[in-house]
Structure 1
């Protein structure tokens, strides 16, 4: 007994089958999120036409894909957007005011909020 496995690509937009060689896998990014969509040729043409004016007006960014932009200032390199010095001041203040805070790592939002309220 023989078995034949058939792989069929489906257009992500309209759910119709994509004939071999007549579709496109389109990768794009929007607001920091990467996307991929498989489209039949007609829908790929519609996609191209829809984004064309935006692509023509945009500045092309070269470099590694998915790489995040670096912080504008080395002082604001933490996830909280605060400098290392400010984070250390928060740790010092928290320790003196009865909060448990590790010498390194993330500081709880409630501690940062309390620090902000006190200053």
Structure 2
């Protein structure tokens, strides 16, 4: 029997649980992430907007747009990886019974399961 673990994000500022996503950003060469509800995401973007409109975007990881959900197989439990493999097989993604899962499979699984935990791109 497969077990699927669901993680529900909680807004780090106000404890809200609806429409919460992880927001990544970088400042002074350090990467940060924070879980925010849609309202707090909008507030953060509004506060940063004057700076972002005058800033230069850089190539590379810090210059790419942040994703709400991201993942690597290294950040997932054995049970989660097993559940992802079963899901991939049921949904036409070719995966082997062992080894690393492709980013395409992980992204497709995350898109189909918005409450599953993920890490940064």
Structure 1 or 2, whichever has the larger Rg, is 1
Scaled by the length of structure 1, the TM-score of the pair is: 0.44
Scaled by the length of structure 2, the TM-score of the pair is: 0.43
| Structure with larger RCO (C-alpha < 8 A, sep 6+) | 2
